[in-house]
Amino acid sequence: MNAPSSTYGLSSEARNLHWLLSNLVEEVPGVRSVAVVSSDGLMLLSSDARHLTAAGALDPTAQDGPKGSSADLATIVSGLGSLTLGAAKLMDGGGVKQTMVAMDGGSLFVMTIGDGSLLGVHATPDCDMTVVAYHMALFVGRAGHVLTPELRGELRRSLESAQ
């Protein structure tokens, strides 16, 4: 898939992260929306609230993410990440690797990226949770080592300029 036009002018690392995120949404059955949130709660990357077709067009049959907004997903991911980190500290449980919430209307997965950032995925209720978690782990493995402070800044600036 070609990089979306929103990646024009970004570094190769930023374009690669955009590609990884798009690939996660397009290739993993049941994934509705995805957000990468920095350790301080700011959205760095997000998918559209609806799936893209293989040609890059919006799929009108795809369901919306929470309230139809990537920003809502990022807020939920940040809050859940903070809550589980606090719980782990209280329980002397060490670091939080993954959180999963199964609901009647879908599933929410949150996975820690090496630098303290979080990867959040909103999925359909019938998704294969092991497949979603596996692909999230692949994303974290590929993205974790390149998500430097400089790249986080570049991603924030690109989101701000797109709004």
Q: pLDDT tens for residues 27-69? A: 999 999 999 999 888 899 988 633 333 333 334 444 444 445 6
Q: Is residue 7 assigned to a domain?
A: no
- Partnered with residue 58 across adjacent β-strands are 52
Q: Domain span at residue 23?
A: 12-162
Q: Is residue 119 assigned to a domain?
A: yes
Q: What is the CATH number of the domain that holds 53?
A: 3.30.450.30
Cα of 100 vs its chain's centroid, Å: 14
Cα of 98 vs its chain's centroid, Å: 13
Q: pLDDT tens for residues 97-110? A: 999 999 999 999 99
**What is the number of structural domains in the chain?**
1
Q: Is residue 2 assigned to a domain?
A: no
pLDDT score of 110: 97
